[in-house]
Amino acid sequence: MVPNVSLSSTDNSNGSSSGGVKRRSHAAVQAAEAAASFITSSDRPFRNRVKDKYASIRSRINPEPTSNYINHNGNKEKLSPDSSALRRTHSAPMNSSSSSSNGIRNNNGMIRSASSNFLLRMQAQRERILQRQRQLERQFIYKVITWSIILIIGIYLCDEFDNYNTQSVDNELTTTKGKGIRGKHKGHVKKLKKKKPIQIDDDEVATWFNNHQHSIPPTIIFTYHTNLLTTPVEELVDEEDVALSQNVKNIISLHPESKVRFLNDADCINSIQYALGKDTNLTTYFTNESQGMYKADICRGAALYETGGLYFDIDIEPRMALWDVIAPRTEFVTTFVHKDSNHLGGFFQAFIGVTPRHEIMKRYLELFVKYYEGEVQVKGPLGVYFLRMAYDELYPVNEAKPDTIDLWQEIRYSPELFPDVKRKWGKRRACQMLVVAKAMEVGTFKREQMVPLFSHANGSRMCKDTNKNGKEKTNR
Whether residue 164 is contained in a domain is answered as no
Q: Checking phi first, is residue 471 left (phi over 0); if not, alpha (psi -120 to 50) or beta?
A: beta
Whether residue 175 is contained in a domain is answered as no
Q: In 10 A of CB 299, how many CB atoms? A: 23
- Give, rounded to a whole angstrom, the gap between the first and last alpha carbons of the chain: 149
Q: In 10 A of CB 429, how many CB atoms? A: 17
Same domain, yes or no, for 328 and 197? yes
What pLDDT score does 198 carry? 39
Same domain, yes or no, for 230 and 368? yes
d(CA 472, CA 198): 40
CATH number of the domain within which 300 lies: 3.90.550
- 369-405 residues labelled b (16+ CB within 10 A) or e (exposed): bebbeeebeeeebbbbbbbbbbbeeeeeeeeeeeeee
Q: At 339, which helix (H) or strand (E)?
A: none
Q: Look at residues 23, 50, 65 and tell me which one is the last residue of a structural domain.
A: 65
What pLDDT score does 34 carry? 61
Q: Look at residues 65, 85, 117 and tell me which one is the last residue of a structural domain.
A: 65
Whether residue 248 is contained in a domain is answered as yes
Q: In 173-264, where does DSSP find H-type helix? A: 186-193, 202-211, 239-254
Q: Which three-class secondary structure state does DSSP give residue 31?
A: helix
Under 8 Å CB-to-CB from 463, ≥6 apart: which residues? 426, 428, 430, 431, 456, 457
What pLDDT score does 246 carry? 93
Q: In 10 A of CB 350, how many CB atoms? A: 22
What pLDDT score does 54 carry? 63
Burial (0-12, 13-18, 19+ Cβ within 10 Å), 51: middle
d(CA 122, CA 124): 5
Q: What is the residue type of 386?
A: F
Whether residue 133 is contained in a domain is answered as no
pTM: 0.56
Residue 86 dihedral angles phi and psi, to the nearest 5°: -70, -25
What pLDDT score does 118 carry? 74
Same domain, yes or no, for 196 and 58? no
Identify whether the C-beta of residue 185 lies closer than 8 Å to the C-beta of residue 174. yes
Q: What is the residue type of 261?
A: R
Domain boundaries, position 455: 184-463
d(CA 225, CA 202): 26
Whether residue 446 is contained in a domain is answered as yes
Identify whether the C-beta of residue 353 lies closer than 8 Å to the C-beta of residue 330. yes
d(CA 181, CA 160): 27
Identify whether the C-beta of residue 151 lies closer than 8 Å to the C-beta of residue 143. no
Identify whether the C-beta of residue 303 lies closer than 8 Å to the C-beta of residue 357. no
DSSP lists the bridge partners of residue 79 as none
Beta strand 259-263 with 219-223 is parallel
Q: At 436, which helix (H) or strand (E)?
A: strand 433-437
Under 8 Å CB-to-CB from 347, ≥6 apart: which residues? 334, 335, 336, 337, 384, 387, 388, 391
Whether residue 177 is contained in a domain is answered as no
Q: Look at residues 31, 46, 65 and tell me which one is the last residue of a structural domain.
A: 65
Whether residue 259 is contained in a domain is answered as yes
Same domain, yes or no, for 372 and 233? yes
d(CA 304, CA 309): 6
- The pLDDT tens digits along the chain (476 residues) read 444 444 444 444 444 445 555 555 566 666 656 655 555 444 556 666 666 766 666 665 555 544 444 444 444 444 444 444 444 444 444 444 444 444 555 555 555 555 567 778 888 888 889 988 888 988 889 888 998 899 898 888 887 776 665 554 444 433 333 333 333 333 333 333 433 443 444 454 445 455 788 999 999 999 998 899 999 988 888 888 999 999 999 999 999 989 999 999 999 999 999 999 999 999 999 999 999 999 999 999 999 999 999 999 999 999 999 999 999 999 999 999 998 888 888 999 999 999 999 999 999 999 999 999 999 988 889 999 999 999 999 998 888 889 999 999 999 999 898 989 988 888 888 899 999 999 999 889 999 999 999 999 988 888 875 334 434 443 33
Whether residue 253 is contained in a domain is answered as yes
What pLDDT score does 112 carry? 52
Q: How many domains does the chain have?
A: 2
